[in-house]
Amino acid sequence: MSGYFKYLFDGIKSLAIGLKITNKEFLTKPITLQYPHESVKMTPRYRGHIELIRNDETSTHQCVSCGMCEKGCPSGCISVKSKKVPGVKGKVLTAYILNFTTCSLCGQCVENCKFGAIRFSNEYNLASRRKEDYIFNLLERLHPEGVPEPKVDPELLKKEQEKKEAAAKAAAEKKAAAAKAAAEKEAAEKESAGGESKAEEKS
Amino acid sequence: MDELIRILSYFVGIAAFLGLNLAYLGWVERKGAGHIQRRNGPKEVGPYGLLQPLADGLKLMSKQLIVPDNADRILYMAAPVLCMVASVILFVAIPWGENLVPREFDFGLLMIFSVASAAGLSILMGGWASGNKYSLIAGTRAVSQSVAYEVPMLITAITIVMISGSMNLNEIVRQQAGGFWHWNFLAFNKSIFMPISFLVFFTCSMAETNRAPFDLGEAESELVAGYITEYGGMGFGLFMMAEYANLMIGCSLTTILFLGGWQCPFGIFPGPHWFLIKMYFLIWCFVWIRWTYPRTTLWGLLNLSWKYLIPFSLVNLLVTALFIKVF
Amino acid sequence: MSTLLGQSQLQETFELNIGPQHPATHGVLRLKVTMDGEYIVKAEPVLGYIHRMHEKMGENRTWNKFWPNLGRLDYLSAIAYNHGYAGLVERAAGIEVPERAEYIRVITVELNRIQSHLLWFGAFVLDLGGFTPLMYAFDEREQILDLLESVTGSRLTYCYFRFGGVYNDIDDDFITGTRAFIKRFRPQIPMYHDLVTGNVILMERLVDIGHVSSEMCRKYGATGPVLRGSGVNFDIRKNEPYSVYPEFDFDVPVYTECDSMARYMVRMKEMEQSLRIIEQALDKIPDGPYIAEKVPKMIKPVKGDYHFAVEAARGTFSMRTVSDGTNQSYRMRLRSPTYSNLSLFEEASRGMLLADALAFMGSLDLVIPEMDR
């Protein structure tokens, strides 16, 4: 019988304690952050989609189009497109496509980049009804006003042209030689082609 | 002709009062829940979210009424209407002020209890007619709950009737005149157990109106949404409004029977404002309790009723009878 | 209960489908329940609605490329899963981890564990019909997420660990922030106990409900708080120490009641113990590199069979891999704790009330994507 009443009183007491706590919370100020009116400040390390870093000296990116990020990406959502422009050292980035719909923000691309060309952005306000809106061209996002033409180095251009001429000359000579020796024709052609590509890579 | 005007004015008055309350009790509940949970509640639609009920109502009304394939069409449509009608009819007997009574019955209390039973029926109807297993389980739960809690509730009400010698609600209030120590819940000269009796009645009205922690009928983590699972649009809206109407009836009845209805706590300026203050305070307690406790189970509910509430109310009935006989 | 079932005159049963979309299952789990009135005759869990072949993916990717998958198994204690994988590959490839990195790992794992238990606490009480504790728990959880975001960069699907260390170092802001959080969170736990644990309604729903004996745990391989709630003192952090856990002084809460309440209490106590570990780790953390310097770009473990187990928030998470000496795994095996924990549901829930069974399921703390993998 005493257990019966004890259970009852303990029960009522516990219920009263609960009411006291919720009453206290009712009287304190809400902690909600009213999102569209105010927004959270993102921490610097927040991982948004990746972006190209702008180099202040050259006012453009530092990407050399080596493709390490593309290779390291587990979801295969990066594709780096580049081309060779005469008079410019290395390859020139023409498009850095990030398919953000499949990106898992693991950070392998940022780690793999030896040139410090990409980082995570702080962008989190991304909303769209169309899937295509999440296929970013990071190069265009870096230069919304239009991608600047790569700076052509006149000396390098001259050197390159000379090299090209030399290579062409060599090729022509070899061709002539090859024409003479019909049996060695195939081998000679291959060599000249190899030489050409090697010259390009060296520059 | 006078009678017709009287009926008409009360009809319009009750309809307007109810409409306002049913809409804004939802707002009060959401706002209260919000602040209890360290958040704001409705805020965007109008100042302090005050136009939110309007927006909700418009949304519910503009929705298509879908009857599920398995449903019993007539019962499915009738259940919410019956639930609402039964709740609204009850307001006819509530004495808001000494002279502000839509219809003063001699058997007002009896009328309220008999009509209120229809709410349980309509829930079972809705649950059965939906053709959904969750709804059916919820319907049976709600009925067993109603039956279990009507017993202690009626016994407690009979105690009050014994004290007052009347079933006329206005008469019951009149007898509690002159300060809060004359109110029934502190009427120690009638029975020493009256405060306990008040708690029993309050708990029972909470269970009768299917409010948390006794909301077994719409236990959302077990039965999805209980008997309203298959209802959308205004069918759902009617069930919701009926729930708030029942809540108001439960609180009004507690006010009348135990807290002196329209009587002033200090014996001056009695009137409808005191009635409303007491009723809204009790409603707030309901909201407060709902957002504090977890839900009971069916066994816990029945245990509480048969092990605690019914013995207590019976003891109080006996003690009251003894007091009346002796003093 | 079984006698009650036997006496029932009407032996008519019906089938009830709970899930895959149901408020109580917290994910796409389906329960095929045969019911006799409100009693459960048989509850059969149906899995596979979110199967993503993580094990197979592990066998088709290089070791480095498997990282993002680890955050998507148990999305609530992802850092512990990171730890499991890091430990596995470090053991396989023989990579030494600097001490500072291990401390950072322990701090983040324990913060993550508290976060996971807080979410469980809220969701569990929500299962029981109380909505408010969920919001309080989320308030605290938000603080942890902010802290972890400031160091890992993500809020849920962490991909923070690397072979030989972590992605980036922690700073002083993180350390002071964590200390402030501990100071703020400590007094909250008694508040939870007052509001929830002591509540008579909750006691009624948890005490003596959902009995899981230690034999049953052994039979189904249940681990974590489910096992410790059944009176078995087993915690990988103590029994099979890894990382720098032996250096910390902490207790493993064990309750012998075997009911839902015991499992509840184990998790609540574990939060306090995790706070203790974090405090000690913050005091002891040494200076030094946060990632090993000589980690090969292309990891090729020696041919062999490797195994590593960690204590995640839900129990023992262990990984086993068979390496054939190439830069990919030959066989990757993930042992997820909730899969074993759910398998005892069918036996334990027999004869329960529907409401009790769902409360019991909540006490098992299920994360469905981790179960299905």
φ and ψ of A111, to 5 deg:
-70, -35
d(CA C115, CA B164): 58
Task: Output the CA–CA distances (angstroms, integers) from residue B271 to B177, B262, B277, in the order listed.
Answer: 12, 5, 11
ipTM: 0.83
Query: Is there a contact between C76 and C65 (Cβ–Cβ < 8 Å)?
Result: no
Q: Is residue C289 part of a domain?
A: yes
φ and ψ of C336, to 5 deg:
-100, 135
Residue B44: predicted pLDDT? 83
Q: In chain A, what residues touch B32 (CB-CB under 8 Å)?
A: 26
Neighbours of C267 (CB within 10 A): 24
Which residues, other chains included, contact C255 with Cβ-Cβ below 8 Å and sequence gap of 6+? C228, C229, C231, C261, C262, C263, C265, C266
d(CA A5, CA B307): 11
Residue with tokens 């059944």: C230
Q: Mean pLDDT of all residues in chain B?
A: 85
What is the model's pTM? 0.85
The model's confidence at residue A195, banded by pLDDT at 50, 70 and 90, is low
Query: Is there a contact between B227 and B56 (Cβ–Cβ < 8 Å)?
Result: no
d(CA B142, CA C14): 20
Residue B150: predicted pLDDT? 85
Q: Tell me which residue range forms the domain holding B111.
A: 65-326
Q: Burial of A37 by CB count in 10 Å (0-12 exposed, 13-18 middle, 19+ buried)?
A: exposed
**Cβ separation of B294 and C125 shorter than 8 Å?**
yes
Q: In chain C, what residues touch A122 (CB-CB under 8 Å)?
A: none
B170 and B278: one domain? yes
The model's confidence at residue B72, banded by pLDDT at 50, 70 and 90, is confident
- Helical H runs in chain A? 2-27, 68-72, 108-112, 138-142, 154-180, 185-202
Q: How far is CA A142 from the centre of its chain?
A: 11
Angle at C42 between CA B228 and CA C315, to 5 degrees: 95
Q: Burial of C216 by CB count in 10 Å (0-12 exposed, 13-18 middle, 19+ buried)?
A: middle
Q: In chain A, what residues touch C201 (CB-CB under 8 Å)?
A: 15
* Letter string b/e over residues B112-129, b meaning 16 or more CB atoms within 10 A of that residue's CB: bbebbebbbbbbbbbbbb
Q: How far is CA C366 from the centre of its chain?
A: 8
**Cβ separation of A15 and B293 shorter than 8 Å?**
yes
Sign of torsion over alpha carbons B185, B186, B187, B188: positive
For C23, which of B133, B221, B295 is closest by C-beta distance?
Answer: B221
B5 and B28: one domain? yes
Residue B120: predicted pLDDT? 81
CATH of the domain at C115: 1.10.645.10
DSSP 3-state assignment of A81?
strand
The upper half-sphere exposure of residue A194, i.e. CA atoms within 13 Å in the direction of its Cβ, equals: 6
Helix (H) or strand (E) holding C16, with range, is strand C14-18
Q: Which residues pair with C321 in a beta bridge?
A: C306, C332
d(CA A68, CA C32): 49
Q: Search chain B and give the residue with CA nearest A14.
A: B293
Fill in the amino acid letter for B110. L
Q: Which residues pair with B141 in a beta bridge?
A: none
Predicted confidence (pLDDT) at residue B12 exceeds the cutoff of 60? yes
Residue C204: predicted pLDDT? 85
d(CA B230, CA C13): 23
The number of folded domains in chain C is 1
Residue where one domain finishes, among candidates B62, B83, B110: B62
Q: Tell me which residue range forms the domain holding C199.
A: 51-335
| A127-143 pLDDT per residue, tens | 888 888 888 888 877 87
Question: What is the CATH code for A50-142?
Answer: 3.30.70.3270
E strands in C269-370: 304-312, 315-323, 329-335
For B39, which of C135, C353, C354 is closest by C-beta distance?
Answer: C135
Query: Is there a contact between A137 and A51 (Cβ–Cβ < 8 Å)?
Result: no
B170 and B220: one domain? yes
B190 and B257: one domain? yes
Q: Burial of B181 by CB count in 10 Å (0-12 exposed, 13-18 middle, 19+ buried)?
A: exposed
B227 and B126: one domain? yes
Residue where one domain finishes, among candidates B37, B62, B87: B62
Neighbours of B320 (CB within 10 A): 22
Which residues, other chains included, contact A58 with Cβ-Cβ below 8 Å and sequence gap of 6+? none
Task: Output the CA–CA distances (angstroms, integers) from residue C270 to C122, C135, C194, C237, C275, in the order listed.
Answer: 15, 20, 18, 12, 9
d(CA C5, CA A145): 76
Q: B235, B251, B113, B255: which is closest to B184 by C-alpha?
A: B255
Residue where one domain finishes, among candidates B41, B62, B83: B62
d(CA C6, CA A10): 36
DSSP 3-state assignment of B266?
coil
State both tokens at A17.
């304690």
Residue A190: predicted pLDDT? 63
Interface size between B and C, measured as CB pairs under 8 A: 76
The model's confidence at residue C114, banded by pLDDT at 50, 70 and 90, is very high
Over residues B300-321, mean pLDDT: 87
| Least confidently predicted of A94-98, B264-268, C68-72, C363-367 | B264-268
**Cβ separation of B295 and C139 shorter than 8 Å?**
no
| B102-138 pLDDT per residue, tens | 777 788 888 888 888 888 888 888 888 888 888 888 8
Predicted confidence (pLDDT) at residue B193 exceeds the cutoff of 50? yes
B9 and B74: one domain? no
Residue C117: predicted pLDDT? 92
Residue C118: predicted pLDDT? 92
State both tokens at A15.
């219920």
The number of folded domains in chain B is 2
Query: Is there a contact between B23 and B244 (Cβ–Cβ < 8 Å)?
Result: no
Which residues, other chains included, contact C239 with Cβ-Cβ below 8 Å and sequence gap of 6+? none
| C120-172 pLDDT per residue, tens | 999 898 888 888 888 899 988 988 998 888 888 888 888 888 888 888 888 88
Q: C352, A77, C72, C276: which is closest to B297 by C-alpha?
A: C352
d(CA B137, CA C176): 53
Q: Does C189 touch chain A (CB under 8 A)?
A: no
DSSP 3-state assignment of A51?
strand
Q: Is residue C114 part of a domain?
A: yes
d(CA C160, CA C150): 12
Q: In chain A, what residues touch B289 (CB-CB under 8 Å)?
A: 19
Q: Does A8 touch chain C (CB under 8 A)?
A: no
- CA–CA min distance C167, chain A (Å): 9
Q: Mean pLDDT of all residues in chain C?
A: 86
Domain ranges of chain A: 1-31, 50-142, 154-202
B235 and B296: one domain? yes
Q: Which one has a higher pLDDT value, C231 or A201?
A: C231
Query: Is there a contact between C229 and C267 (Cβ–Cβ < 8 Å)?
Result: no
Q: Does A123 touch chain C (CB under 8 A)?
A: no
State both tokens at B30.
């959401």
DSSP 3-state assignment of B185?
helix
**Cβ separation of B295 and C22 shorter than 8 Å?**
no
Selected for mutation to probe chain A from C64, C104, C144 (highest A CB count within 10 Å) is C64
Predicted confidence (pLDDT) at residue B94 exceeds the cutoff of 60? yes
What is A155-172 written as a DSSP string? HHHHHHHHHHHHHHHHHH
**Cβ separation of C198 and A14 shorter than 8 Å?**
yes
Q: Is residue C30 part of a domain?
A: no
Fill in the amino acid letter for B261. G
Q: Search chain C and give the residue with CA nearest B211.
A: C129
Angle at C58 between CA C159 and CA C308, to 5 degrees: 75
Q: Which one has a higher pLDDT value, C85 or B6?
A: C85
